[in-house]
């Protein structure tokens, strides 16, 4: 029995409009479909760069994990140390020796990007900021952030403090997925502490449809960056960029990428679970053919140019020798999409097919060898 390859068009779309391309002025960028986890666009996405205040997403992730999985409460109080009080950069304006709730510290970190609040929370949860950074790196490794190392909780510049826009996208989607209720902190547009009201530095919340997070960042070394996400019609897109030359450029580039992803890409169900893909000949069975069906549902996010032509091939041994057991794997569907890794789908038998008795086997074998089958390609 030899292996046959059948090539056919799985899906063909002809687009009459001009194909759409996207680029960005940001030095690094990653655009990811939240549901399928597919990269829709990337530019230097694995280049190590200072994450600046986007670091605070991990600071908050660690706090959320404690809040969700321990007895820690948002009403617990944390003391403000001299180190936290003296910290420069963006601030929540905590006072030394203040007792501040974790709720207020989270708002100070997320909305106001407070470096002082970041240190206060780190010291509250781990004793020292250095020990908290070890916890941050533990989470980073667990999440698969392969090109990331944290040395502080605020994103303050340090030669050994780095990440990538792809790793930050992994972190962003993880915090949304794992802590859906606590994630609502990121959509708050302003926060007042110590009589000082500050707006959320994420301007996309009020300018981009469906935007509900996450965090901006800036250092001289990295430029202006943002981890941003938006949800429209039950579909979420996450964008992380770094290396723009102004806060305005940061907003324009991130909003352009979000709007492009929603308008120029779409989720498509390529194969349904249990869908019949092929009728295969059966060798010496009590039925002449068996349906091979898809073992899983396949959803992919595709741009319009990718939708023009999708090809696929089927690999299986022909004929399939009985007995055949329902649910066992007898073939493979390979879906090929330009610019994406090939998708493999195992094909399983839809039903049991028993072997015929020895006498009938001999006649069936002779018949098959002499006449073959009408399904020969």
Peptide bond into 172 cis (omega under 30): no
Average pLDDT over all residues of the chain: 90
Task: Parse the chain into domains and list their residue ranges.
Answer: 2-14+269-371, 28-244
Task: Check if 113 is active-site.
Answer: yes
Q: Pick the catalytic residue: 43, 45, 53, 172?
A: 53
Task: Check if 53 is active-site.
Answer: yes
The tokens for 190 are 């302003």
At CA 345, angle to CA 343 and CA 346, rounded to 5?
150
At residue 358, the pLDDT reads 62
Res. 374 pLDDT band, cuts 50 70 90: very low
How many of the other CB atoms lie within 10 Å of CB of 8? 9
CA distance linking residue 34 with residue 30, whole number of Å? 12
Q: Which CATH architecture has domain 28-244?
A: 3-Layer(aba) Sandwich (3.40)
The pLDDT of 220-239, averaged and rounded, is 96
pTM of the complete model: 0.80
Contacts of 282 (CB under 8 A, 6+ apart): 288, 289, 290, 319, 320, 321, 322, 324, 353
| More confident: 343 or 365 | 343
At residue 4, the pLDDT reads 40
Task: Check if 83 is active-site.
Answer: no
Q: Where are the alpha helices (DSSP H) in the chain?
A: 56-69, 82-86, 102-110, 115-126, 129-143, 165-178, 204-207, 247-264, 358-371
Quick check: 15 and 302 in contact, CB under 8 A? no
Q: How many helices (H) and strands (E) does the chain have?
A: 9, 18
CA distance linking residue 136 with residue 127, whole number of Å? 14
pLDDT in tens, 59-99: 999 999 999 999 999 999 999 999 999 999 999 999 999 99
Q: Pick the catalytic residue: 56, 107, 203, 318?
A: 56
Same fold, 2-14+269-371 and 28-244: no
Q: Pick the catalytic residue: 45, 81, 90, 113?
A: 113
Q: CATH number of 2-14+269-371: 3.90.600.10, 1.10.3720.10, 2.60.410.10, 3.10.110.10?
A: 2.60.410.10
At residue 14, the pLDDT reads 28
Contacts of 115 (CB under 8 A, 6+ apart): 53, 87, 88, 89, 90, 91, 154, 155, 156
CA distance linking residue 65 with residue 45, whole number of Å? 27
Quick check: 154 and 56 in contact, CB under 8 A? yes
Residue 368 in this model has a pLDDT that exceeds 90? no
pLDDT in tens, 142-183: 999 999 999 999 999 999 999 999 999 999 999 999 999 999
């Amino acid at each position: 029995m030899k292996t046959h390859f059948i090539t056919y068009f799985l899906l063909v779309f002809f687009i009459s409009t001009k194909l759409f391309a996207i680029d960005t002025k940001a030095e690094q960028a990653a655009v990811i479909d939240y549901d399928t986890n597919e990269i829709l666009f990337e530019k230097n996405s694995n280049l190590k760069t200072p994450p600046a205040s986007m670091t605070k997403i991990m600071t908050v992730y660690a706090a959320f994990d404690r809040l969700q999985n321990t007895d820690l409460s948002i009403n617990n109080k944390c003391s403000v140390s001299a180190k936290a009080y003296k910290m420069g950069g963006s601030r929540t304006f905590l006072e030394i020796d203040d007792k501040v709730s974790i709720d207020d510290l989270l708002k100070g970190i997320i909305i106001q990007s407070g470096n002082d609040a970041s240190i206060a929370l780190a010291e509250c949860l781990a004793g020292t900021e250095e020990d908290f950074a070890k916890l941050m790196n533990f989470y980073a490794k667990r999440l698969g952030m392969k090109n990331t190392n944290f040395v502080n909780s605020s994103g303050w510049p340090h030669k050994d403090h780095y990440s990538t826009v792809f790793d930050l996208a992994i972190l962003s989607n993880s915090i949304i997925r794992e802590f859906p209720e606590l994630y609502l902190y990121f959509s708050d547009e302003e926060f007042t502490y110590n009589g000082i009201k500050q707006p959320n530095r994420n301007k996309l919340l009020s300018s981009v449809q469906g935007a509900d997070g996450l965090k901006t960042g800036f250092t001289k070394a990295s430029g202006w960056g943002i981890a941003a996400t938006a949800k429209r019609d039950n579909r979420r897109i996450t964008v992380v960029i770094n290396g723009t030359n102004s806060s305005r450029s940061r907003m324009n580039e991130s909003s352009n990428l979000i709007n492009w992803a929603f308008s120029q890409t779409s989720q498509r169900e390529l194969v349904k679970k249990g869908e019949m893909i092929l009728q295969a000949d059966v060798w010496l069975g009590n039925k002449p053919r068996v349906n091979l069906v898809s073992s899983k549902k396949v959803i992919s996010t595709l741009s319009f140019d990718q939708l023009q032509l999708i090809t696929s091939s089927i690999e299986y041994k022909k004929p399939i020798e009985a007995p055949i057991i329902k649910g066992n794997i007898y073939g493979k569907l390979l879906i090929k999409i330009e610019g994406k890794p090939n998708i493999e789908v195992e094909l399983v038998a839809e039903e049991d097919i028993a072997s015929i008795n020895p006498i009938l086997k001999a006649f069936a074998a002779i018949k098959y060898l002499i006449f073959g089958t009408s399904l020969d390609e």
